[in-house]
Amino acid sequence: MSKPKIAVYKLASCSGCQLQLVNLEPELLDLVGEVEIAYFPMASRKTVPGPYDICFIEGSITREEEVEVVKKAREDCRVLVAMGACGTAGGPQGLKNWARVEDFKERVYQRPDWIRTGEKSLSPGEKVKIDLYLPGCPVSRDQLKEVIVAALLGRKPYLGDWPVCVQCKMNNNVCLLVASKTPCLGPVTRTGCGALCPTWGRGCYGCFGPCEDANVASMGRILRDLGLSPEEIVRRFRHVTSGAEAFREGAKLYEGQQD
């Protein structure tokens, strides 16, 4: 039997999630023996035509031609996986969905007239059917491997959907919200990072997006009690996963409010 073909497509992104796939290192050598990396421009010039068994798509849609890339990926692939904060929730570039694009261009670029981009940042799932969402900024290497192995074995991947707080307990971390009154989105953020930021004394930024049944209203009240202004709370919910439904709702609760 032929090996399952894997393809990796890129939209607007930093390529960090693709790099995580390359960073599987020794595991990648074992996987390469079981699958065929058919299309992955970042890692290989070799291109094998589709159809493909598994397709990972990184990035968000910020230009009209990227819509065609997403549609082509959907047509070519049996299982389409949107990966990373950009692929699942619009990414950091999703901040322009709540601002004037021209303002960003003028502040960031020396020649804003050279920049060609759309008014919105959309996740691929807003244009085509996505079979699996793999969040993170960047995605977890372990979760990437789990998706590939699960596909090879014909089972559903086990990714977990509990809050980062659970991982903090497993790591024996002291709760930053309780012990030091540090603003932290751990109670409403999905696991996957290993509680990286809280483990080093920093509040969770919400990079993996909202966990199941995220109580953003309660989270907002806690942040308010810690002294954050409504504007600061909106910024917390609109960090790198601003397009996630629960975090959109959390931001709406405080948008336009005054101290």
* Residue 20 within any structural domain of the chain: yes
In this structure, are 21 and 144 located in the same domain?
Answer: yes
In this structure, are 190 and 237 located in the same domain?
Answer: yes
In this structure, are 43 and 91 located in the same domain?
Answer: yes
* Residue 257 within any structural domain of the chain: no
CA torsion angle for 95, 132, 211, 223 (degrees, to 10)?
-10
pLDDT confidence of residue 1: 58
Most confidently predicted of 87-96, 218-227, 249-258: 218-227
In this structure, are 172 and 220 located in the same domain?
Answer: yes
In this structure, are 134 and 73 located in the same domain?
Answer: yes
pLDDT confidence of residue 256: 83
In this structure, are 232 and 169 located in the same domain?
Answer: yes
* Residue at which a domain ends, from 102, 125, 153: 153
Q: Is the pLDDT of residue 193 over 80?
A: yes
* Residue at which a domain ends, from 153, 181, 216: 153
Work out the mean pLDDT of the chain and round it to a whole number: 91
Q: How many domains does the chain have?
A: 2
In this structure, are 190 and 246 located in the same domain?
Answer: yes
pLDDT confidence of residue 192: 93
pLDDT grade for 51, boundaries at 50, 70 and 90: very high
* Residue at which a domain ends, from 153, 183, 203: 153
Structural domain containing residue 170 = 164-252
Q: Is the pLDDT of residue 235 over 70?
A: yes
pLDDT, greater one: 208 or 104: 208
Q: Is the pLDDT of residue 222 over 70?
A: yes
* Residue 40 within any structural domain of the chain: yes
